C-alpha cells in the first residue's frame, strides 16, 4: 500500500504513546483501585485496557470486546466547560465508533465499586443505555 491508500490509524496512535505511559505510571488512587478490579478479565471475562487512545481522546479504561469506555471524574470534571467537553467526547465516540461511555465520580470507586461492576455487566447487553452515574 502506498501512503495515499493506507488507512489512517485512529487507535493508540504512536504520538500519544509516551503520554499514555506517563498517565498509567502516575495513576490517581481511584484509577489504580479500579484497575485492580478490572485487570485480568475479572469482570465477566472482559479485557480492559488502561489509557487507550482513540484519535485525540485518551480513555481511562476501554474494553474492545463490548466497545465500552469507563471514565473516572474528579471534581474538576463538573465545571461547565469540562462537562461540555466530556459530553461532546462521549457523543463523538458513540457516533463514530459505537463506543458507549460510563462515567463515575472517583468516590464511587471507593464507596460503591459494585455499582461500577454492575454497570459493566449490564453494558454487555446490546440494549444497555449509556449511563452517567453520580
pLDDT in tens, the chain (134 residues): 445 554 566 676 666 666 556 666 677 999 999 999 999 999 999 999 999 999 888 899 999 999 999 999 875 444 554 577 889 999 999 999 999 999 999 999 999 999 999 999 999 875 544 444 44
CA distance 60 to 116: 14
- Return the domain boundaries, the chain: 29-123
3-class DSSP assignment, residue 101 = strand
Helix (H) or strand (E) holding 103: strand 100-105
Q: Which CATH number fits domain 29-123: 3.40.960.10, 2.60.60.20, 3.90.480.10, 3.30.70.20?
A: 3.40.960.10
Q: How many CA atoms lie within 13 A of 70 on its CB side?
A: 29
Whole-prediction pTM: 0.75
What pLDDT score does 27 carry?
78
21, three cell numbers = 505511559
Helix (H) or strand (E) holding 62: strand 57-63
What pLDDT score does 58 carry?
87
Full DSSP string of 10-60: -BS-GGGHHHHHHHHHT--HHHHHHHHHHGGGTTTT---EEEEEETTEEEE
Beta bridge partners of 49: 62
Q: What share of the chain is helix, strand, coil (3-state, %, to 5)?
A: 50, 20, 30
The answer to whether residues 43 and 28 touch, using CB atoms and an 8 Å cutoff, is no
Amino acid at each position: 500500500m502506498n501512503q495515499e491508500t493506507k488507512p489512517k490509524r485512529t487507535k493508540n496512535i504512536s504520538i500519544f504513546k509516551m503520554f499514555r505511559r506517563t498517565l498509567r505510571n502516575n495513576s490517581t488512587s481511584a484509577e489504580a483501585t479500579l484497575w485492580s478490579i478490572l485487570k485480568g478479565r475479572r469482570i465477566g471475562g472482559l479485557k480492559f485496557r488502561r489509557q487507550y487512545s482513540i484519535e485525540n481522546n485518551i480513555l481511562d479504561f476501554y474494553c474492545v470486546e463490548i466497545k465500552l469506555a469507563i471514565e473516572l471524574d474528579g471534581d474538576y470534571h463538573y465545571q461547565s466547560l469540562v462537562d461540555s467537553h466530556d459530553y461532546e467526547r462521549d457523543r463523538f465516540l458513540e457516533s463514530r465508533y459505537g463506543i458507549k461511555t460510563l462515567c463515575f465520580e472517583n468516590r464511587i470507586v471507593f464507596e460503591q465499586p459494585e455499582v461500577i461492576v454492575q454497570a459493566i455487566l449490564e453494558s454487555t447487553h446490546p440494549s444497555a443505555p449509556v449511563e452517567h452515574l453520580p
